[in-house]
Structure formats: structure tokens, C-alpha cells
Structure 1
């Protein structure tokens, strides 16, 4: 989403939002899909995998947003690394939940695909930042 404001000379300036980022949009979908998917899990998992998955899903999208909002490249990278780690957590927890048959393989597919996409984008960004540093 873009916001407009008046510049010093009266021109309209466009402020870019993390919501415009494809990676944020995909991460937002991950969080949403995790909430829907975990509704299918056994109720006794409320404080186990359900809680872990939801927290990790919110972590990915939140860290992408926060990283975008930071001023220094070092901070942006730090939040991308955290988001990448949280996405790895989700990947592992989804694998476990699938093995335990908490939902059908088909019900896991959309979320797994989104997580893979987000991890690839984050990995590409982090690799690029390492190359820039060298």
C-alpha cells in the first residue's frame, strides 16, 4: 500500500509500504493458511504444534515487515535471517504434522509451497547481501 504526503515544496511524495512486497504478501498468506490448517489438528495440540506453527507463521510475516521498516541494511538483513529461520521452523513442523496425519497431504500442500517460495526469496536476498559485502 502506498501513502501520499505533501513534500516540502508541495509535491506529492509516495511512501512505499511493506505490503507492496511480494514476499510480505506470500508470508501473510502463510500465516493465514497456517491458522486455517491448524483448525484441522487435534485439539490436544492446541499448546503444542498448533501454537508453535501459528507463532512461527506470524514471526515470518512480522519480521519481513519490521525489516523493511528498518533504516540500515544490517538491520534489514538481521530481520530477514530471523524470518528465514522461522520459515525453516514452519517447514519442519509441517513435516511432523503431516507425518502424524493431522490433515491430508493435499491440505498441507498450499502452505508448504508458500513456505518454500518465501524461503527461496529470503535466501536469494541474503546471498545477494553477502555478495555486496565482499
Structure 2
């Protein structure tokens, strides 16, 4: 694995940022009465996926803290999937858009689960020799 020096180099973080921007664009067409409820919640949770990944990256000295933040990112991604389904059921997005967005978040969740299952590949060694 190539050395990654910043969270911005993580493919999963890049995917989460792209997905959050897609949610932003899609939610712009939602009804005005949803501005402070569904739109706000959907955007917040989509942005939180990338934010929790960034926090996890900074906490990688401590495996438990790293995994906890990745779990938070996974939870937020699943929340976005719920908002996508509600948006579809309310008629704010079509089936094609819902399927595309849900698939994007399913892929991100898969990437997160891979990291959660193999934290030693991502965390820093704090043994006698210090960081790896």
C-alpha cells in the first residue's frame, strides 16, 4: 500500500465528498417546506461521512478511536440511505437517482467496513519503535 499522508488521499474520503456534493445538488430541488427538515438532515449526514473519516485519520494512533470514528462514518452513511429512501417515497427524487445514490453509499459503506475489519493496515504503530 502506498503511503498516504493525508485523509484527502483516501479513496473513501474522496468518494464521500463526491457523494455529499451529489446530495447537495439533488436536494436543491426539494420543496421549500423541506428546507429545515429533510434537506438539512440529509445534507448534514452526507457531510458527516467525510468529516468522520477525516477525524478517524487524525486518530489513527489509537486503534479503538480510529475504528470508533469509522463506525460513526458508517452510521452516517446508513442514515443518508434512509433519507434517500424517504426522498424517493415522498416523490422528491426518481427511482434512477435513488438507486444511483443508494449504490454510491453502499460502496462507501463497503470501503469503511474493509477499513474497520483491518485497522492495523491504517493505524500507526506506537510500539517501542514509534510510528511505522
TM-score in same-fold range (> 0.5): yes
Distance 2:45 2:104 in 1: 14
Structure 2: runs of 5+ lacking an equivalent: 120-132
Which of 101, 105, 118 matches 2:108? 118
Structure 1: runs of 5+ lacking an equivalent: 1-13, 130-134
TM-score, normalised on structure 2? Answer: 0.81
Q: Deviation of residue 57 (structure 1)?
A: 0.7
Which of 23, 28, 41 matches 1:39? 28
TM-score, normalised on structure 1? Answer: 0.80
Answer with 1 or 2: which has the greater Rg.
Answer: 1
The aligned runs of 1:12-23 (5 Å cut-off) are 16-23=5-12
Q: Normalized per residue, which structure has more strand?
A: 1
The aligned runs of 1:16-95 (5 Å cut-off) are 16-70=5-59, 71-95=61-85
